Amino acid sequence: MKKIFLFSIIIGLSFSCAKKVSEESKTPKEQEPKPAVVVGGDSDTHGCKASAGYTWSTLKNECVRLFEVGTKLSHAEDEKKYSTVAYVIFDGNKAELFLDTQKEPILLERKSEGDSWLKDDYQLIPWKGYVLKKADKIIYTGE
């Protein structure tokens, strides 16, 4: 009788342990914590942090904040309900043009002081500030 009682206890314990193990395998494992996103941790290929306002300038050969070093040009069409800006960085007879419609900046050149900066169908004219034309149509003006 003692043997049967002891045997039934062992059987009961083994079934209860097996049930506990199967329940644990059904519950999802704890997920590894995801690394926190660091503000300012978005460096581009040149090491410029866009979230901090920096853009690579080929002309200056460094990361710059356009709103600090560039000349601001405003969109020339007044009837639009939105406003866009362009920035220009000058260095001698070269100008680097940053447009919101272009992924890469456009390098313009002029032959001598007083002339316009040119590249393809873009023309930056120094007149009452600056006038930017594309295919003979004024698209931006600024000081």
Most confident segment among 50-54, 70-74, 105-109: 105-109
Predicted local confidence at residue 35, as pLDDT: 65
Residue 75 lies in a domain: yes
Predicted local confidence at residue 68, as pLDDT: 92
Residue 32 lies in a domain: no
Predicted local confidence at residue 79, as pLDDT: 60
Residue 112 lies in a domain: yes
Asked if the model's pLDDT at residue 82 lies above 90, the reply is no
Range of the domain at 136: 64-142
Instruction: Find residue 141's DSSP bridge partners.
Output: 74, 131
Report the domain count for the chain.
1
Res. 4 pLDDT band, cuts 50 70 90: confident
Please name the residues in contact with 124: beta carbons below 8 A apart, sequence gap of 6 or more: 88, 95, 97, 108, 116, 117, 118, 130, 131, 132, 133
Distance CA 71, CA 97 (A): 10
What integer best gives the mean pLDDT of the chain?
A: 82
Q: What is the mean pLDDT of residues 53-80?
A: 87
Instruction: Find residue 71's DSSP bridge partners.
Output: 88
Residue 39 lies in a domain: no
Helix (H) or strand (E) run with residue 12 in it: helix 2-26
